[in-house]
């Protein structure tokens, strides 16, 4: 039986839904800020991606049936950064952008071979200790300048380098 | 066979997906603006709602598998307002808010008895002729003051009176 | 001599500028949030206003020559809430709205008898102890429902009750 | 006597104010959009800048005493693009960012040798004929890819190439 409220789905059921409707995702770029709120560094995970590559990526994951967007954000931040990251969740439900991932990379530039996903993207300051969890191989902090550089862009996939530049622009630190 | 790209789904397939994952929706409040961009009136549809009531409501509908949010917005605006409405689609993909509808009205205050829906909400200026389509019984234009009044609020359901006030606030005309 | 960098201006010089150009202001609604980022209470100061009334008001003040908006926000938050308020400054420089105050109340509904002010408005979570300073008579925390009520609205002036409702709407808690 | 309402100020009076308080500015990137609201080209003026260079620049100018931000936007759009540009003014008063220009380029990266200016930045779709006015030497339309390129960046000054990339990011077309 499907315990939908808990978000757990038999593999086949999720696969069937994936072929029929867009999935709702959240994405979060964890950042460190100074005492004026200026972003001084951004954290990127190193993880195995849906396309099989090992890539730098933001915190990301599906919103479950019955789950609020805020709760999904907290769950994925905890899953990827550990329980001591102390994220400052956004007060406003408005994401800084919507990234639309399609199996066909030509539609929007955001690409996910598994599914059509509509992703609500946030920048989330964290003030605690971040420890990459099992699903992530590493977590690296870098300055906005480093993050916007070509070296990082080539290590990202699915158009997420573009999403990262948008996030940096939104917080006023895109070089 | 499922013609997923066209968004059409056998009834049972859609119902199965609805029980398993959140649905992606778009909502749009059509508005008339003056030559300075100030909202002078807002349009509300009169329609049969999922809860069985006849209610005032914004343009609203599901985003299909494989469909961009912009295309879903255009499709639903055309479906509800006709082909001559001349909507000015938002240049930025950022919605003014995210409304999360749950079968349980107590979670967020936004309520849909059929499903969990994550709705991207927009304010869309229209400059052409709007003709309510088959699915809507009527379209009424009102001033921001009228729209924010108690008389309209009681004619809306599912928490959409709150979404309307948020839209009015966003464009700076909430009294 | 004018020590412009420090923001201090001889009274006459400021008065002259006030008659000639719009002043730049910042306004901040301090809020308490739960561990999901949901706003649970909003703080309003009780203070003597430019129009002579004793009113409920947000943190507010002028941006000095040579001062960044972020630094003005920190300065006014500290001045009004004390040094231990621990505000979480916004990472993005984008205010949730612009409030335009005019000597003539009919222009925008925002009214300041002393000047034309263009005010950048923010919602700022605070996690520390807030102690209203000399310039404020009191600081009162209230729920979003209380804050949006008629009782509070009549205790605010200059259109700031409207700005408060917009702030509540922006963070998704306008009833 | 100062006819403040009309915005006209004796040169000395404006200079005095400029040394004492931040000036309020508006900036607008005119764009062409397709029928889905996607930005397909962005217009940049060629003009003589405060630092003496001939540079590519957005529509830009001061907000007068007594003037609403919307009216300043319309006035400067008309001044720079002519009376037939048919701009679609933003419905929401929220700018996509605030650019803070300082005489000292190191403070924010936005630089104006004449003054401290706080600039409200907007993206404005135009559907009519744009004719650069007397104060602009030329108006050039380019694709988002061209606009984000290094060739354009070196032709901009005062940090406005960064503001342009932020604008492109905001509307989802930063490459």
Contact call for residues D85 and D128 (beta carbons, < 8 A) = yes
CA–CA gap between residue C156 and residue D170 (Å, rounded) = 35
Whether D170 sits inside 8 A of B71 (CB atoms) is no
Chain B: closest CA distance from residue D113 (Å) = 31
Read off the pLDDT of each residue in A8-20 and give the average, rounded to a whole number: 81
Answer whether residue A127 is part of any domain: yes
Residue to mutate among D29, D110, D123, D169, with most A CBs inside 10 A, is D169
Query: Which residue in C20, C22, C69 is closest to D63 by CB distance?
Result: C22
Residue A53: inside a domain, yes or no? yes
Does residue B94 surpass a pLDDT of 70? yes
Separation in Å, CA D54 to CA D50, D135, D154: 9, 12, 11
- Tell me the chain D residues in contact with residue A162 when contact means C-beta distances shorter than 8 Å: 174-175
Note whether residue B11 is domain-resident: no
Confidence of residue B51 (pLDDT cuts 50, 70, 90): confident
Contact B63 A118 (CB under 8 A): yes
- pLDDT confidence of residue B2: 36
* pLDDT at A159 exceeding the cut of 50: yes
DSSP letter (8 states) at residue D91 = S
Give domain status of residue B82, yes or no.
Answer: yes
| Mutation site, B1, B22, B109, B120, interface A, largest A CB count within 10 A | B22
Asked if residue B16 has pLDDT above 90, the reply is no
ipTM of the shown complex: 0.91
Has residue C99 got a pLDDT over 60?
Answer: yes
Question: pLDDT, tens digit, for every residue of A103-135?
Answer: 999 999 999 999 999 999 999 999 999 998 877
Q: Which residues contact B15 (CB under 8 A, 6 or more apart)?
A: none
Residue B105 burial (CB count, 10 A): 15
Chain D neighbors of B123, CB-CB under 8 A: 91-92
D18 domain-assigned: no
Q: What is the pLDDT of residues B125-139, one digit of tens each?
A: 999 999 988 778 899
Does residue D8 form part of some domain? Answer: no
CATH of the domain at C51: 3.90.79.10
C-alpha pair distances (Å), D175 with each of A99, A164, B67, D165, D168: 14, 11, 21, 9, 8
Looking at the predicted structure, is the pLDDT value of residue A169 above 90? yes
Residue A166 lies inside a defined structural domain of this protein: yes
**If DSSP codes are grouped into helix, strand and coil, which group holds residue A146?**
helix
C97 touching chain B per CB within 8 A: yes
Q: Inter-chain contact A21–B2, Cβ cutoff 8 Å? A: no
A91 or B11: whose pLDDT is higher? A91
Identify the pLDDT of residue D53. 82
Residue A142: the pLDDT is 97
pLDDT tier for residue A8 given thresholds of 50, 70 and 90: low
Domains in chain D: how many in total? Answer: 1
Contact residues on chain C for A72, CB-CB shorter than 8 A: none
Min Cα distance D157 → chain C (Å) is: 20
Question: What integer pLDDT is reported at residue C3 of this predicted model?
Answer: 39
Cβ contact D116–C69 (<8 Å) = no
Rounded-to-integer distance, Cα B43 and Cα B46, Å: 10
Q: Where are the alpha helices (DSSP H) in A10-59?
A: 11-18
Quote the pLDDT of residue B85: 95
Residue-wise pLDDT for B107-128, tens only, equals 999 999 999 999 999 999 999 9
D65-103 per-position pLDDT tens digit: 999 999 999 999 999 999 999 999 999 989 999 999 999
What 3-state DSSP class applies to D77?
helix
Q: Which residues of chain D have pLDDT under 70?
A: 1-9
Average pLDDT over all residues of chain A: 91
pLDDT of residue D153: 94
Looking at the domain assignment, is residue C10 inside a domain? no
Planar angle of CA C107, C65, D61, nearest 5 degrees: 50
Tens-digit pLDDT profile for residues C113-154: 999 999 999 999 999 999 988 778 899 999 999 999 999 999
Q: Is the pLDDT assigned to residue B11 strictly greater than 90?
A: no
The parent domain of residue C114 ranges over: 26-170
pTM recorded for the entire structure:
0.92
């Amino acid at each position: 039986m499907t315990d939908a409220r808990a978000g757990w789905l038999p593999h086949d059921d999720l696969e069937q839904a994936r072929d029929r409707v867009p999935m709702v995702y959240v994405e979060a770029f964890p950042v460190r800020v100074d005492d004026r709120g200026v972003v001084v560094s951004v954290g990127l995970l190193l993880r195995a991606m849906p396309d099989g590559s090992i890539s730098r990526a933001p915190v990301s994951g599906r919103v479950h049936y019955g789950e609020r967007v805020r709760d999904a954000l907290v769950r994925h931040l905890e899953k990827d950064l550990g329980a001591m990251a102390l994220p400052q969740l956004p007060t406003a439900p408005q994401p800084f952008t919507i990234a639309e991932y399609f199996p066909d990379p030509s539609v929007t530039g955001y690409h996910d071979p598994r599914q059509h996903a509509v992703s609500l993207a946030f920048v989330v300051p964290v003030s605690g200790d971040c420890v990459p969890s099992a699903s992530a191989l590493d977590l690296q902090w870098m300055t906005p300048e480093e993050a916007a550089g070509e070296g990082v862009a080539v290590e990202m996939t699915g158009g997420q380098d573009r999403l990262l530049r948008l996030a940096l622009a939104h917080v006023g630190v895109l070089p």
